[in-house]
Chain A
Amino acid sequence: MRFVSEFRNPELGRALAHQIRELADPGHHYKVMEVCGGHTHSIYKYGLEDLLPDNVELVHGPGCPVCVIPMGRVDDALDIARRPEVIFTCFGDMMRVPGSDATLLHAKAEGADVRMVYSPLDALRLARENPDRQVVFFAVGFETTAPSTALTMIRARAEGITNFSVFCNHVTIVPPLRALMESPDLRLDGFLGPGHVSTVVGARPFGFLPADYKKPVVISGFEPTDVMQSVCMLLTQLAEGRCEVENQYTRVVPWEGNPNAMRVLAEVFALRPHFEWRGLGFISQSGLAIRDDYADQDAEQRFTVPGVRVADPKACQCGEVLKGVIKPYECKVFGSACTPETPIGTCMVSSEGACAAYYNFGRFNREKQLVS
C-alpha cells in the first residue's frame, strides 16, 4: 500500500480501505463506474485500484469531454479553421484530437490561423481586437463548461460584437448514462457521480439511476480520500439495501446545483434531437445546440460545414473504453500505435482520458503486478 502515504490523511485512507474490505460481500464481484475523467485520473495516479479488494472493480465512464467528440465534428472544425478569414480558437487539448485527415495542430502548421485559448472569454477578446476577421470558438465540454460559453455569447451580444461565433459541441451527462444502462454489454452495481458537472446541475438529475435502474450514485470529490470514501458510501448503500443519490462532495457541490449557470444554459442552448458520441454512436437529446435567438453566433449557420459522419478508425476501441467494457490496456493498439504523442483515439489525447491516464500512471502499477 505504498500509495496510501501520498494521501492527505494516510490514516483515513487506510481505514477506508479496511472498511471497504469489510463491506464487500466476498461472493459478489462489484463493478462501480466512475463517470468523470477526473476520477479516472485520481484512481490511476494514486493506484487506488491496488487498495481495493479484488472483487471491487472500478470501470471508467464516458465523462471526458475531449474523448467523446466524434471524428466528423473534428473534420467540420478543420473545415472552418482552414478558411482564410477565420481565426479558429480552441482549448489546448482539442488541438491534438485526430480528424480523418489531420488535427488542428496540423492545420495550423499548414498555415491555418488556429489559436489555443484558455477561456472562451479570450476568444471573444480576439474578436474584439480583430474586427476584420471571423473568430470562431470550438466549444466542447459537459455542463461544467457550457455555462462559460453561454455567458461569453451573452457578453458578445451585449457588446455588439458581430465577428464572433461558436462551433457548439457541448454535451450533457445524463443521456449517455441512460444509454449505458440500456446497453446489454455492461452490468454495473453503482456510480461515482461527477464532481464538477454536479456543481452546475446538482444531484437531482442523477435520480433516474436509482429510480429507473436501481443503481445507487455517490457524487464524489477528486482527492484519493474522496474517491475511497465514495466507494465506501456506495458499498454501504448496497449492503443496507438502500439505493439513492448521495453527495460525498458537499464541500463544493450544492444539492440544487448552480441556478445562475442553469439559467444561462437555458437562455442560450437547447437540446439537439441527436448528437453523435465517439465510440457510442448517436444518443438522442444528448448535445446542446445554439438557440435560434442566438443563431447569429452559431458557426454552423455562419459557415456551411461538411457535416459528414465519419466512422472511427478500425483499430480504435475507444467506444468500449468509454463504456467501461474493456480496460485501456486491452485495446490492441494501446501503447504501441496509440500513445499520447500519436493518438489514434481520443481517449489518449486528454489527460482525463482513460487511456492517457493509464498510459501515464497505471501501466507501471500493472507491470509491477505482472512482474511480481
Chain B
Amino acid sequence: MCLAIPGQVVEITAADDGLALVDIAGVRRSTNVSLVDGPGQGVQPGDWVLVHVGFAMSVIDEHEAAATLRLLQDMGEEFELEMAEIRDSVDA
C-alpha cells in the first residue's frame, strides 16, 4: 500500500467529481485527481501522475515516470502484488 506508481492520464471522466481514467503500468483505473487539481494546474490527458491508493499525489514528468517505473519493476514481487491488487480492483 505504500507504493506510489506512475500513471498516464487517459481521459478526464468526471471533471466535477475529480475522476480520471489513468493508465497505471498497463492497467486502466478510475483515479481521483482532485489533489493535483486547481486553478491553472489541472491535469490533462497525456500528463503523468504518481498514483497512491487510487489518488494522484503529484504531477511528474515523463522522464521521472519512466525512472520510477523502472525502480518499481526492479522490486519484483511486491510491485507485482500491488499491480495485481489494482487489476483486481478494476475487474471487481
Where the two chains meet, the residues of A that have a C-beta atom closer than 8 Å to any C-beta of B are 6, 8, 37-38, 41-42, 45, 64-66, 91-94, 116-122, 125, 140-141, 144-145, 147-148, 151, 155, 196, 199-200, 222-223, 251-254, 258-261, 264, 350-352
Contact = CB atoms under 8 A, between A and B. Distances in A.
B2 A155 contact: no
B89 A117 contact: yes
B10 interface: no
B14 to A, nearest CB: 11
14 contacts: A91-B1, A118-B54, A118-B82, A121-B32, A121-B55, A122-B89, A147-B55, A148-B54, A151-B32, A151-B34, A222-B71, A251-B60, A253-B58, A351-B75
B62 to A, nearest CB: 12
Contacts of B74: 6, 45
B85 A352 contact: no
Interface size classification for chain B: 35 or more
- B2, B58, B78 interface centre (most CB from chain A within 10 Å): B2
Nearest to A149: B53
- A42, A45, A119, A254 interface centre (most CB from chain B within 10 Å): A119
A119 B55 contact: yes
Contacts of B68: 222-223
Nearest to A63: B2
Interface in B31-74: 32, 34-38, 50, 52-55, 57-58, 60-61, 64, 67-68, 70-71, 74
Contacts of A352: 2
Nearest to A352: B2
A196 B56 CA distance: 12
A121 B86 CA distance: 12
Contacts of B85: 92, 116, 118
A258 B55 contact: no
B3 to A, nearest CB: 8
Given A223-B71, A251-B60, A252-B58, A148 B1 contact: no
B30 to A, nearest CB: 8
B57 A258 contact: yes
A119 B4 contact: no
A48 to B, nearest CB: 13
A155 B17 contact: yes
3 closest residue pairs by CB, A with B:
A119-B54, A91-B1, A118-B89
B81 A92 contact: yes
Contact of B64 (A122, A155, A251, A259): A251
B55 to A, nearest CB: 4
Contacts of A151: 18, 32, 34-35, 55
Given A92-B85, A116-B85, A118-B88, A37 B2 contact: yes
B34 A260 contact: yes
A144 B89 contact: no
A148 B34 contact: no
Contacts of A141: 1-2, 53
A119 B20 CA distance: 15
Contacts of B78: 351
A145 B52 contact: yes
Contacts of A93: 1
Contact of B53 (A45, A120, A200): A120
A38 B61 CA distance: 21
Contacts of B92: 122, 125
Given A65-B2, A223-B68, 10 more contacts: A66-B1, A121-B55, A122-B89, A141-B53, A144-B57, A151-B32, A196-B2, A196-B52, A199-B57, A260-B35
Nearest to A64: B2
A145 B71 contact: no
B1 A252 contact: no
A117 B53 CA distance: 9
Contacts of B4: 144, 196
